[in-house]
């Protein structure tokens, strides 16, 4: 398994890209292949070279609440809409945090508010199939990891997009990083 950092166009070799082999991967011990606990840590064989294309991002504080209607950035190489091909170039969009009660109402048992965040799409789209694992960045902090959208309906505002809520997993992340 190899990660590519600093990529913009994943179909071309770019000077900005750094390819680094994964030394170890650690899925969350409670992950069952479903939506919950959908997070994995990767330990790289070498450190990344920090430059204008590759850099760190701040993690949230533990139990740091994020308010509804806050605008957040998302990014990925997934589909730009239902039945559309995946993108060769990294796409970015803005989505707004949605009230958890609305997400519970729509996603029912597939949404766990203390471990997940959901967003509503704004005009211009947002995450879609193929964007899983991508970031949800709010106020300069990595707040979530793209988890799922409604199959074939990622552009339907009736279905909020769901993200793994990073602050819940901070104790596990910190414990794994100390190993």
Q: State the pTM of this model.
A: 0.94
* Greater pLDDT, 61 or 95: 95
H or E element: which one contains 135?
Answer: strand 135-138
H or E element: which one contains 54?
Answer: none
pLDDT tens, position by position, 63-114 = 778 899 999 999 999 998 888 999 999 999 999 999 999 999 999 999 999 9
Confidence of residue 124 (pLDDT cuts 50, 70, 90): low
Domains within the chain, CATH numbers bracketed: 2-56+170-177 (2.40.10.10), 71-168 (2.40.10.10)
Nearest alpha-carbon partner for 164 in 122, 97, 111? 111
pLDDT tens, position by position, 12-36 = 999 999 999 999 999 999 999 998 9
103 burial level (CB within 10 Å; 0-12, 13-18, 19+):
buried
At residue 65, the pLDDT reads 81
Does 125 score more than 90 pLDDT?
Answer: no
Instruction: Locate 61 and state its tokens.
Output: 């504080």
The per-residue pLDDT of the chain, averaged, comes to 94
> For the CA atoms of 135, 138, 139, 143, what is the dihedral angle to 10 degrees?
-70
At residue 142, the pLDDT reads 96
Question: Cβ distance 103 to 118 under 8 Å?
Answer: yes
């Amino acid at each position: 398994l190899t990660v590519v950092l600093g990529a913009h166009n994943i179909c071309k070799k770019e000077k900005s890209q750094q390819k680094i082999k994964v030394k170890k991967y650690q899925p969350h011990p409670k992950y069952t292949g479903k939506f919950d606990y959908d997070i994995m840590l990767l330990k790289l064989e070498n450190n990344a070279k920090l430059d204008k294309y590759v850099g760190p991002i701040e993690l949230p504080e533990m139990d740091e609440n994020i308010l509804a209607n806050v605008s957040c950035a998302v990014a990925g190489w997934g589909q730009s809409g239902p039945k559309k091909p995946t993108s060769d170039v990294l796409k970015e969009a803005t989505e707004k945090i949605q009230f958890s009660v609305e997400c519970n109402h729509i996603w029912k048992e597939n949404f766990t508010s203390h471990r997940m965040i959901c967003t509503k799409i704004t005009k211009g789209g947002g995450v879609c199939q193929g964007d899983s694992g991508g970031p949800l960045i709010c106020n300069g902090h990595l707040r979530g990891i793209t988890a799922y959208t409604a199959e074939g309906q990622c552009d339907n505002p009736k279905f909020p997009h769901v993200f793994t809520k990073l602050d819940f997993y901070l104790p596990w992340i910190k414990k794994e990083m100390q190993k």
